[in-house]
Amino acid sequence: MSVDVSRRLFSVDEYHRMRDAEILVASDRLELLDGEIVEMNPIGSRHAACVNKLNSLLHRVLGDSAIIGVQNPVTIDQLSELQPDIAVLRRQDDFYAARHPGPGDVQLIIEVADTSLEYDRQLKLPLYARAGIPEVWLIDLAREVVEVFADVTADRFAAVTVARGCDPIPSRALGDAVLRVPDVLP
């Protein structure tokens, strides 16, 4: 016997209204992905250490030339608002007080994967590509590698580079700065 199930998808505006009405609370670790509200995994200590290290490192490397968002919302489209671990954003005088940044504001997204590798790879990466995010790093803590996705064409990343060991991490978003894999791992 087959059962018809209909799902209710939410827009970013509806998602925000649910937060404003405290149907969803700020302490909930949630993302809106293709209209579905997704609960994110708790953050482990190694994951948190990597994000903290990246935040410190990127502030030193980029200075005031960019805004470093740490686990803050980025509105991808009308049905998706994600909270990447790190978002390197174009400088804006109000620091995005009037609105969350969108794809055109993003120079680099970094996702740190401890327990979320398949979620990040299968669901978030394609969404970032469709939105035209120019560069995404996926840091796989278990394998101690940094996968760099770049050159968006036809809604996918055409260039994928895997950096491991003491390899430099290829990045257009960081300009002349050279970071190596051990620089970003906890």
Q: What is the pLDDT of residues 38-61, one digit of tens each?
A: 999 889 999 999 999 999 999 999
Tell me whether residue 58 is in a domain: yes
Tell me whether residue 75 is in a domain: yes
| pLDDT at residue 1 greater than cutoff 70 | no
What's the pLDDT tens digit per position in 128-162? 999 999 999 999 999 999 999 999 998 899 999 99
Say which amino acid occupies 4: D
Tell me whether residue 170 is in a domain: yes
Q: Which domain holds residue 116?
A: 41-184
Going by their DSSP bridges, the two strands 145-153 and 135-140 should be labelled as antiparallel
Among 40, 19, 14, residue whose Cα is nearest residue 29 = 40
Cβ(84)–Cβ(68) below 8 Å = no
Tell me whether residue 35 is in a domain: no
- Gyration radius of the chain's alpha carbons: 17
Mean pLDDT calculated for residue range 107-129: 95
pLDDT band at 3 (very low <50, low <70, confident <90, very high): confident
Average pLDDT along the chain:
94
Domain harbouring 169, CATH code: 3.90.1570.10
The domain tally of the chain equals: 1
| pLDDT at residue 31 greater than cutoff 80 | yes
Name the more confident of 22 and 26.
22
Name the more confident of 55 and 175.
55
Tell me whether residue 177 is in a domain: yes
Cβ(11)–Cβ(79) below 8 Å = yes
- What is the DSSP annotation of 31-87? EEETTEEEEPPPPPHHHHHHHHHHHHHHHHHHGGGEEEEES--EEEETTEEE--SEE
As a whole-number percent, the residues of the chain with pLDDT over 70 amount to 99
